[in-house]
Amino acid sequence: MIDLVIKARKADIGGLEVGRVLPYRERRMVGPFIFLDHAGPITLAPDVPRSHDVLPHPHIGLSTVSYLFDGAWIHRDSTGVEQLIRPGEVNWMTAGRGVSHSERFEDAFRRTGGPLELLQAWVALPEAVEEDLPSFHHFGLGELPTFEDRGAWGRVVLGSAFGLTNPVPVHSPQFYIHLELQAGATTAIPGGYAERALYVVRGAVDVDGHAYSPGQMLVFAREAAPTVRASEVSTVMLLGGDPVGPRHIWWNFVSSRKERIEQAKADWKAGRIALPYHDGNEFVPLPEPAIPPPAPEPLS
């Protein structure tokens, strides 16, 4: 029923520590989802340092979806967008042939500090739209479908599930759902998709008599019809969809073609990917390959 359990690994994104779930060495993708980071929960002191901001950086070949549980920040990108995002809203940026963006703490939140928790996922684009023009869409709380059922409350963040369809313009069959479960509540996993997973954000859940805790992703077998039970008050994310085919990933670049990744590296290094309109004074440089240490001298 469960093919694989993935435990989030610690990663640093320039001042903030996150749990990195995808990609994983034994499972690069779940449906079109190729990347998932979980930041928090943490409480930031007043006057949040600018070292915690995510500086302008590039993407190709993917869409990013930012989803906050606590906190607030400003998205700026090279299409000219400047957009505040708050908990429960969706920022959906499609990189296509190339975009850059930054994510910085909103001024009021920077002054006061407070609780912060968020997920950022990357969704690989089908080959037919990998080189489309970049675009950005924001969706507020009232625009995202929600549901309630016997101790479970959910919001459809992307795609279609449980008879509901989200207005975010996705490019392939997929779903991404925020679920709040009361102790003892159960949920099914959406059917009709080739690949499906559950990520535990808070609390604890039980599947088939086995307990799972925060930071664990459960990847389900293709034909499985599991029932998930919350052992306590819990927050989980359901995600998956149909595969879009093998993908190469390097740094912030995703593509069906390895040579396209190399071109993106060269484009960012040469300044051919524009910086955000309202945030162009600094950026993350292209990571250079580490120089291996010299070989030790042979013993005499």
Distance, CA of 35 to CA of 216 (rounded, Å): 14
Residues in the chain: 300
3-state secondary structure of 38: strand
Structure tokens at 35: 């990347």
> pTM surpassing 0.85?
yes
pLDDT band at 14 (very low <50, low <70, confident <90, very high): low
Distance from C-alpha of 164 to C-alpha of 171, rounded to nearest angstrom = 17
| CA–CA gap between residue 207 and residue 193 (Å, rounded) | 19
pLDDT tens digits, residue range 204-238? 999 989 999 999 999 999 888 889 999 999 999 99
CB 75 within 8 A of CB 102: yes
Render pLDDT for 53-62 as a digit per residue (tens, 0 to 9): 999 999 999 9
Q: Would you state the pLDDT for residue 213?
A: 97
**Residue 242 pLDDT class (50, 70, 90 cuts):** very high
Residue appearing with tokens 């359990």: 5
Contacts 24+ apart (CB under 8 A), 81-85: 81/136, 82/277, 82/278, 83/136, 83/138, 85/138
Average pLDDT over residues 240-260: 97
